[in-house]
Structure 1
């Protein structure tokens, strides 16, 4: 669960993600980012998942998706609304149509 803002992407309290990191991000700053979120109490392990304990602002939808998925991710296509439309379809393409 999240919300796109002019400042970045907010992952909402209660959002759940995987605990394990995929092998391809081992030794990268993505692992350090996830570790910092756990150490700072933003994400906490619960029932085999990480759960966000509070809302957290990320600089981009992709970094927010990576934090939840434990892998590199294109947040513009990973984040979807209840109707199935991607963040790209809702924000980027809407701007292109209006512009």
Structure 2
């Protein structure tokens, strides 16, 4: 996994905590031996080459307020946004991911 230009900003006040993070480039390489594609996940290139896009590949922001009354985490907002991403999963990798997640296993 390659992550470039990671930016994290945390502001903590008595009344709230704000967390803002962005990653400008994301790429996940295929770890399967003999795979047809070397890269599994990447930011989809723009169709026009002369247009620059400075938006991050992944951006998330949250605003949390403390709660003394309840035993709960209260968030005013949680935003997650991404650029267009391309995901190439071959059948063998898909089966391995499903095994890892426990899909199809008996719950006994």
* TM-score normalised over the length of structure 2: 0.21
* TM-score normalised over the length of structure 1: 0.22
Q: Which has the higher strand share?
A: 2
Q: Which has the higher helix share?
A: 1
